[in-house]
Amino acid sequence: LSPAARKEALSEVVRELPAIRSTHHGEVLAPEPATVDEFADEINRLYSEVQNTFMRIGALLERAEQTLSAEEYQALAERVPLKKAARSQLRQAYRAIEDGVVPRELAKNSGYTTVYAIASLPPDERQQAIEAGIVRPDTRREEVLKFRREIRASRDDGDRLARLKAE
């Protein structure tokens, strides 16, 4: 077949395919989701990829900090789009997962900021969070922060009461 004939034959086949979308880069992506299930599946798949990517970034930052000189690490920091706080949180989240401080499943579903929030709790508060059911695969950062505020507020109330009794 001539190139023109092949193009015509293929164009008929392409017209029968489900609708596809392309990005501004010209990449062809999967068919557009049309149902709630399709949207949810695609968003959940992409979210999982993002979480894995963040953990990989944390691993790379941790390795870079361990192997590069301070000057080299600073040069790296200036070449990546992450502020110092984000780099620190990513590294700490990665270490918390690797050291078993936070369950690995949490990193897959909840994100590095949630892992960081749990990892940054003192051990006694982290244990209380586990016992209270706060630490689970679908935990959100807001739940951890709310738990931390509540537990610290109750501790502060107890401290105030003890001071008043002592007075």
Are the C-beta atoms of 60 and 93 separated by less than 8 Å?
no
What pLDDT band is residue 46 in, cutting at 50, 70 and 90? confident
Q: What percent of the chain clears pLDDT 70, i.e. is strictly above it?
A: 81
In 21-102, alpha helices (H)? 36-67, 70-79, 84-98
Are the C-beta atoms of 105 and 134 separated by less than 8 Å?
no
Is 158's pLDDT higher than 70? no
pLDDT confidence of residue 108: 78
- Separation CA 116–CA 92 (nearest Å): 6
Helix (H, G, I), strand (E, B) or coil at 31: strand
pLDDT confidence of residue 126: 94
pLDDT confidence of residue 26: 47
Among 96, 98, 145, 152, residue whose Cα is nearest residue 124: 152
Global pTM reads: 0.68
Average pLDDT, the chain: 84
What pLDDT band is residue 51 in, cutting at 50, 70 and 90? confident
What pLDDT band is residue 130 in, cutting at 50, 70 and 90? very high
pLDDT confidence of residue 92: 95
pLDDT confidence of residue 14: 61
pLDDT confidence of residue 140: 92
